[in-house]
Amino acid sequence: MNPPRNSDDSRSARDGERGERPWGFYLVLYEEEGCKVKRFLVRPGKRLSLQRHRHRAEHWHLVRGEAVVTREGETIRMEAGHSLDIPRGAVHRIENVGREDVIVIEVQTGSYMGEDDIERLEDDFGRS
């Protein structure tokens, strides 16, 4: 059994991929054909790019914190325990509007889950 981790723990899952981002980081927890599960952390005041995916849908479950999600022009306030679906092709982003880290469990399903399946429409960090 692995020791418990807190949001600032820099270790990744035994075989998991960890990606550092300007808004926080993600950690791949599980992956098989057609499915990927990630844990991602968004620092206070930060947000992901406004984006869409051509090959996958996502389900987000907020584990900790307060966030605002934009999905297809709709603004959705979320807190721990809330979940939502992001259909394939939907324009979306999440923003941490609280004082603590936001932690999300993301389940991706589709034909391709690579990090290059991100079309960024707006980005606070100048990424394309």
Position 98 scores a pLDDT of 98
Look up tokens 């939907």; give the residue.
90
Q: Are 42 and 67 in contact (CB under 8 A)?
A: yes
Question: What pLDDT, on a 0 to 100 scale, did the predictor assign at position 14?
Answer: 43
Q: What's this model's pTM, rounded to 2 decimal places?
A: 0.86
Report CA-CA distances (Å) from 33 to 20, 25, 88.
24, 23, 17
Q: How many CA atoms lie within 13 A of 95 on its CB side?
A: 13
pLDDT at 128: 84
The contacts of residue 111 (CB under 8 Å, 6+ apart) are 34, 55, 56
Ramachandran assignment for 126, one of left (phi > 0), alpha (psi -120 to 50 degrees), beta (any other)? left
pLDDT of residue 12: 36
Please tell me the CATH code under which domain 25-122 is placed: 2.60.120.10
β-sheet bridge partners, residue 69: 76, 94
- pLDDT at residue 15, as a whole number: 62
Instruction: Look at residue 16 in the predicted model and tell me its pLDDT.
Output: 85
- The number of CA neighbours under 13 Å toward the Cβ of 114 is 3
Q: Which amino acid is present at 61?
A: H
Each residue's pLDDT expressed in tens, for the chain with a length of 128 residues: 444 444 444 343 446 899 999 999 999 999 999 999 999 999 999 999 999 999 999 999 999 999 999 999 999 999 999 999 999 999 999 999 999 999 999 999 999 999 899 999 999 999 88
Q: Indicate the domain borders of the chain.
A: 25-122
Rg of the chain, C-alpha, whole Å = 14
- For residue 111, what are its two tokens? 């034909």
